[in-house]
Amino acid sequence: MREAIPRARRPIGLVLALALAAAVNAAAQTKDVEVGLIAPMSGPYARQGQVMKMAADMAIETINQQGGIKSLGGAKLKLEVFDAGDSVEKAKNAAQRMVADAPNLVVATGAYLSSFTLAVTEVTERAQLPVVTFSYSDLITSRGFKYVFQTSATGVQQAEGSLPALMEMAEKASGKRPQTVGIVMDNTAASVSFVKPMRDHQFEKLGLKLVVDETFTPPLANATPLIQKVRSARPDILILLPTVISDAKLLLEKMNEFGLGRGKLPTIANGAAILDPDLRNNMNIEQLEGVMAVVADWTTSAQKDFVAEVKKKTGEPWATQHFVTTYGDIWIFKAALEAAGKADRESVAKALHAMNLTGGAANFFPGNGKLKFDENGRREGASLLIVQWQKGVPITVYPAKDAISPPLWPKQ
């Protein structure tokens, strides 16, 4: 028996050593903080999802290189990606997979379309998983949810704010206030909701006369009748709202054909679709000159180094709205984790509610320079930007404090 004790101790020592090694390894593994990206990675929206992933990867690489989350002992961020697909049902299924398969996930961003985000956050709210989103719909932060945070100016805020901003820009650029306006739009929900407050009260309030108002069902076969009506009515500004690239191409080419393009008729769209590199790849660059879009985020004059880094690291010609916002979201995660000091969902959600940043992540979201969410999770002071195609690149032209270049506007 006496001889057996030392023999028995040897395996016990071995077991203890292995357990210690496993504990050390486990401690090393818990250092990684899992953050999620739920976005379309397949189907027709896959390109936007891929852009969002590029942005998240770039932000995480930078954060980890700079020492990770310092309040968590230098913990590294680790990205988990979930494919939201191309339908609300698929997005909801992806959210269910996300909360079931990734219990260590502490916060997530997504999910591209507002309809996807509405479905995804129904699932994540029950799992008490904080989600930071850029989707526009007002409904996202109107449901009394505690774990949803919206960084963009909402759809209604954009619709209400874009026309006064455009009028102000027009007056400053040309010295003349526009008197007449035209609308050419498709009948998708985004376009309809964007022009609703304008038709309801804004045109009257701003003294604008609506001289052409045309709605079409996408896809267009020929844009001639629509642009002919614009040519006949001769508005001072045109609100052009296609959501499909093929329609945007047809409309803009027809405007050029009729002599209304290249900034002769100030034209403004909503959302980043008309600023997408895909449109430039399908059109003569010169024909895009002067076309503007109201967006909730873009690169500004303060981010020249960031743009250079994006070009160098990703090969993208510029940082689109979804790139900038996803990149900014990851920096919001870092700030929240630093403040929480704990990698758990509840602590991160509390940190997000208590957040009041100036600089850092706040630089990636236009507004009052601060990053603060109200009790519903809506970012306070969120505002819009106006971006214009100039020499083949979409750049911010409004407001002046964020503008990279002054707007191109016809003097007469």
CB of 257 to another protein, least distance (A): 5
Lookup result for tokens 């997504």: 110
Supply φ then ψ for residue 313, to 5 degrees: -85, -30
How far, in Å, CA of 261 to CA of 251, rounded? 10
Single out the segment in contact with another protein by CB under 8 A; choices: 137-145, 255-263, 294-302, 335-343: 255-263
How far, in Å, CA of 23 to CA of 34, rounded? 19
Instruction: Give the three-class secondary structure for 251.
Output: helix
Single out the segment in contact with another protein by CB under 8 A; choices: 132-140, 151-159, 162-170, 261-269: 261-269
CB of 155 to another protein, least distance (A): 22
* 8 Å CB contact between 86 and 93: no
Under rule CB under 8 A, how many of the chain's residues touch another protein?
A: 41
How far, in Å, CA of 410 to CA of 412, rounded? 6
Token duo for residue 345? 């969902």
Residue 273: what residue type? A
The answer to the question of residue 380 lying near another protein (CB under 8 A) is no
Token duo for residue 333? 């995660």
DSSP assignment of 100-158, as one string? HH-TTEEEEEE-SSHHHHHHHHHHHHHTT--EEE----GGGGSS--SSEEE-SPPHHHH
The answer to the question of residue 216 lying near another protein (CB under 8 A) is yes
Residue 80: what residue type? E
Lookup result for tokens 């306070």: 380
CB nearer to another protein: pick between 36 and 49: 49
Token duo for residue 323? 């790139």
The answer to the question of residue 257 lying near another protein (CB under 8 A) is yes
The answer to the question of residue 355 lying near another protein (CB under 8 A) is no
The answer to the question of residue 254 lying near another protein (CB under 8 A) is yes
Binding mask 176-215 for another protein (x = CB under 8 A): -----------x--------------------------xx
CB of 114 to another protein, least distance (A): 21
Binding mask 54-93 for another protein (x = CB under 8 A): ----------------------------------------
CB nearer to another protein: pick between 69 and 265: 265
The answer to the question of residue 53 lying near another protein (CB under 8 A) is no
The answer to the question of residue 265 lying near another protein (CB under 8 A) is yes
For residue 222, count other CB atoms closer than 10 A to its CB. 9
The answer to the question of residue 282 lying near another protein (CB under 8 A) is yes
Cis upstream peptide for 351 (omega within 30°):
no
Cα–Cα nearest to 340, from 107, 127, 102, 65: 107
- One of 25, 128, 284, 356 touching another protein (CB under 8 A): 284
Cα–Cα nearest to 182, from 111, 241, 224, 261: 241
CB nearer to another protein: pick between 212 and 393: 212
CB nearer to another protein: pick between 73 and 225: 225
- One of 118, 167, 250, 268 touching another protein (CB under 8 A): 250
The answer to the question of residue 278 lying near another protein (CB under 8 A) is yes
Q: Which residues lie near another protein (CB under 8 A)?
A: 43-44, 46-47, 187, 214-217, 219, 221-222, 224-226, 228-229, 231-232, 234, 245-246, 249-250, 253-254, 256-261, 264-265, 278, 281-284, 287, 412
